[in-house]
């Protein structure tokens, strides 16, 4: 039995959808940062960074969404949501997982939390948002071109955990001037992932309409 600590709309979205895709037993533990849940002594023992998601399986505790997804894929190889080690698609899968979390997610985080880059003075936030969107635009164009030429998924015809992760990050851009859904191939990709029963179930569990 897995226990996933989550907050609606957070980086827990992708691991939660993956758990549903895998069809394994799991339970959800909601934590509310606004109520101080992530900074409670009990939660800080699990995740000293006071963030979500955190995954618990018996005595095993881990955080970082991408790492959780890689772990789950390795624990359940029969679901074939990640290429097996040694196969020709494995390096590409690892590349996408790291790119998404280390490059795209990093810039989206700057958009959502400009204060982390420029401090609490709101006079500087507008510039920080503009810079983040300027940096995000070529990333979305790159991904859109990749999906248009080699899609419909990041690994071509094969759906993988990386696609779940990208769909989550694409949603985070919904309030940007140029959201991911506005790019043709990305828009089709997002619709395809959202139509999967597991992803739709995750959205329902999190109370997310779109």
**pLDDT band for position 105 (cuts 50, 70, 90):** very high
What mean pLDDT is predicted for residues 153-164?
Answer: 98
Rounded to two decimals, the pTM is 0.95
pLDDT at 72 over 80: yes
pLDDT at 115: 80
Shared domain for 106 and 75, answered yes or no, is no
DSSP 156: B
pLDDT at 194: 97
Shared domain for 51 and 122, answered yes or no, is no
pLDDT at 117 over 90: no
Shared domain for 107 and 159, answered yes or no, is yes
Instruction: Read off the CATH number of the domain in which 48 is found.
Output: 3.40.30.10
Shared domain for 102 and 134, answered yes or no, is yes
Shared domain for 74 and 94, answered yes or no, is no
pLDDT at 1 over 80: yes
**In which domain, by residue range, is 120 found?**
90-196
Shared domain for 32 and 98, answered yes or no, is no
Beta bridge partners of 26: 2
Shared domain for 94 and 190, answered yes or no, is yes
Shared domain for 63 and 100, answered yes or no, is no
pLDDT at 47: 98
Shared domain for 41 and 77, answered yes or no, is yes
Lowest-pLDDT choice from 15-29, 42-56, 126-140, 162-176: 126-140
Instruction: Read off the CATH number of the domain in which 108 is found.
Output: 1.20.1050.10
DSSP 37: G
Shared domain for 107 and 186, answered yes or no, is yes
Place of tokens 């949603």: 171
> CA 205, CA 120: separation in Å to the nearest integer?
33
Q: How many domains does the chain have?
A: 2
Shared domain for 64 and 140, answered yes or no, is no
């Amino acid at each position: 039995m897995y226990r996933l600590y989550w907050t609606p709309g957070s980086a827990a979205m992708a691991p939660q959808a993956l758990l549903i895709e895998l069809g394994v037993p799991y339970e959800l533990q909601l934590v509310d940062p606004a109520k101080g849940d992530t900074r409670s002594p009990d939660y800080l023992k699990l995740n000293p960074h006071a963030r979500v998601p955190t995954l618990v399986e018996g005595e095993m505790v881990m955080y970082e969404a991408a790492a959780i997804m890689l772990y789950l894929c390795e624990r359940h190889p029969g679901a074939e949501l990640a290429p097996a080690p040694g196969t020709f698609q494995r390096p590409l899968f690892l590349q996408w997982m790291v790119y998404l979390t280390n490059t795209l997610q990093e810039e989206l985080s700057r958009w959502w939390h400009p204060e982390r880059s420029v401090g609490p003075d709101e006079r500087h936030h507008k510039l920080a948002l503009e810079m983040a969107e300027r940096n995000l635009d070529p990333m979305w164009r790159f991904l859109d071109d990749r999906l248009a030429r080699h899609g419909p998924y990041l690994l071509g015809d094969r759906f993988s955990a990386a696609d779940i992760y990208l769909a989550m990050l694409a949603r985070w851009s919904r309030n940007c001037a140029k959201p991911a859904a506005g790019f043709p191939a990305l828009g089709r990709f997002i619709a395809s992932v959202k139509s999967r029963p597991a992803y739709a179930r995750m959205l329902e569990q999190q109370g997310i309409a779109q």
